[in-house]
Structure 1
Amino acid sequence: MSNDVNVPVCNIGPYGFDAHKKFERLELTYSLEIVPLLTYSVIRHLLPAS
């Protein structure tokens, strides 16, 4: 039996060296400005206008 799901996916993942470690470093401009805008733009592009 197949559990395939047909949904669009866009992985906007971590940026930088050693991401997701115990003492993860964070690039603030990317994480707090670029990623939220990019995520919003992708969602708006994928969802139909209502």
Structure 2
Amino acid sequence: MSNDEFLPFARPSLSEEAIAEVVATLRSGWITTGPRVARFEAMLSEYHGGRT
């Protein structure tokens, strides 16, 4: 395997806050739509300068 094909492996670094957000989203029953998705989309749009 060449270096071009190497896929590094590492444990994810997830904060307790991030884990709590995921759990809250799963428990809400709204995974692909709903208020948390709308909030994420707004934050992502803001991060990219309002471009969608």
- TM-score normalised by the chain length of structure 2: 0.38
Q: Which has the higher helix share?
A: 2
Larger-Rg structure = 2
Bigger relative contact order (CA 8 A; separation at least 6): 1
- TM-score normalised by the chain length of structure 1: 0.39
